[in-house]
Structure 1
Amino acid sequence: MAVISTEDEGKFLMDVRGEQIGIVTEIDPVEQVAYVDPDPSLTEAWVQSLGRGDANEDDLEVPAESIETITDSEVRVDADLSSEA
């Protein structure tokens, strides 16, 4: 399990196959949940990359225990979530 923080907002969420699932819109550091927009527009992706976005009701909730690794640009889960998006 990875520990996620607000610094991970704006990163791409990738599945185990390296396919992009969406973009992290918001992190709840207390509950350790990442909220992911599975279909961001270009403008939304740009705003998220600046760490200025917020989660919407249609965002996916990804618990930290599902996250395998975090890099400078992506959060990678240990499962194939793309079928849920």
Structure 2
Amino acid sequence: MSVLSTEDEGKFLMDAQGEQIGIVTEVDPEAQVAYVEPEPDLTEAWIQGLGFGDADEDDIEVSGDAIETITDTELRVAVDL
């Protein structure tokens, strides 16, 4: 398990094989949940990258327990979602 923070907003969520799943739109650090837009368009990705986006109804929830590693640009899950 990795510890999620609001600093992780705008990062890419990658699967175990290195394929992009989506982009993190929002993080709830108390619940340790990342909300991920599974198919962001270019505008959404740009807004999220700047840290100005919010989660919406089509985002998927990813628990901090599922995150294996966190880098400067991505979160990587241990298994495929």
Q: Using the TM superposition, give the Cα deviation of residue 46 of structure 1 relative to its aligned residue in structure 2, in angstroms.
A: 0.2
The amino acid of 1:75's aligned partner reads L
2:44 maps to 1:44? yes
Q: Using the TM superposition, give the Cα deviation of residue 79 of structure 1 relative to its aligned residue in structure 2, in angstroms.
A: 0.9
In the aligned structure 2, how far is the partner of 1:54 from the partner of 1:43?
13
Any idea what SS the aligned residue of 1:48 has? helix
Any idea what SS the aligned residue of 2:58 has? coil
1:21-68 C-alpha deviation (Å, 9 max, x unpaired): 000000000100000000001000000001110001110000000000
Q: How many residues matched?
A: 81
Stretches of 4+ aligned residues off by more than 3 angstroms? none
The amino acid of 1:10's aligned partner reads G
State the match for 1:14 in structure 2: 14
Task: Give unpaired runs (5+ residues) of structure 1.
Answer: none
The amino acid of 2:47's aligned partner reads V
In the aligned structure 1, how far is the partner of 2:13 from the partner of 2:71?
11
CA RMSD of aligned residues (A): 0.4
Task: Give unpaired runs (5+ residues) of structure 2.
Answer: none
In the aligned structure 2, how far is the partner of 1:53 from the partner of 1:9?
8
